[in-house]
Amino acid sequence: MKDFCMIKRLGPGKRLSQASIHGNTVYLAGQVPDEYSGDVKTQTKQVLDKIDALLKEAGTDKNNILSATVWLPNINDRDAMNTVWDAWVPDVGPARACVESKLADPAIKVEIAVIAAIP
């Protein structure tokens, strides 16, 4: 008999779920701000707050993030985004990629997806 783990979905929808849990790992969908107004710092804070809430719902927190991917439509916003990111992450940050990419709406200045362990 094949061993398998059930997949639990958080915030499920037809197109995507906000998070998927498999075993002791949670995979968050790319998170964008709820309000598209504001600069990249404001939007990054909103996104990180959403990530905190989803991680809590999954039974973990930012201290258990294994990997993060950050998308910026303007890579020149990296330093401003990093100011907010650096204040948010624990003493040792997770593996991370930060890339320039066109996002779904031109008003979105940052999107972040994370993978985290569930202790």
Give residue-wise pLDDT tens across range 11-23.
999 999 999 999 9
Domain ranges of the chain: 7-117
> How does strand 95-100 pair with strand 65-72?
parallel
Q: 7-117: what CATH class?
A: alpha beta
Give residue-wise pLDDT tens across range 79-106.
999 999 999 998 889 999 999 999 999 9
pLDDT attached to residue 90 = 82
What phi, psi does 73 have (nearest 5°)? -70, -20
Radius of gyration from C-alpha coordinates of the chain = 15
pTM of the model: 0.94
Q: What percent of the chain shows pLDDT beyond 90?
A: 93
Distance between CA atoms of residues 15 and 88, nearest Å:
30
